[in-house]
Amino acid sequence: MSEALHPKRGEIWLVEFEPARGAEIAKIRPAVIVSSNDIGKLPLRILVPVTDWKDHYYDFPWFTLLNPSRANGLTKSSGADAFQCKSFSLERFKKKLGKVTEAELEEIVSAIALCIGFS
């Protein structure tokens, strides 16, 4: 594995989500890495997929708004969908885009906690 392919917590990467099943998120899209950098032996990362922002997502507490910036590499308003949090092989990671802020990462992690009933 090359040095460039070591996704870290809080980074946004383009990730291959195919093949998808049912209502799973699909295609190559951005995703925020949420797994700890210090846990796990397998070449996997836990991530939250990112999709185009829709105004009705404000009603869904598991979505975190991510505005585009030079730091995160996003080109349009997007939403991190914590309900579709999953673990993926590093083989699916295509390109690093940037990084979310600490506040955004905290909001995403809190949304995951909400989804799994952890308070």
For residues 41 and 60, the answer to whether their CB atoms sit within 8 Å is: no
For residues 29 and 15, the answer to whether their CB atoms sit within 8 Å is: yes
Specify the pTM. 0.92
pLDDT value of position 1: 41
Q: What pLDDT digit, counting tens, does each position of 82-96 carry? A: 999 999 999 999 999
Task: Outline where DSSP puts E strands in 26-102.
Answer: 28-33, 44-52, 63-66, 78-81, 86-89, 93-99
CATH number of 11-115: 2.30.30.110
pLDDT value of position 40: 86
Q: What percent of the chain has pLDDT over 90?
A: 85
Q: What pLDDT digit, counting tens, does each position of 40-78 carry? A: 889 999 999 999 999 999 999 999 999 999 999 999 999
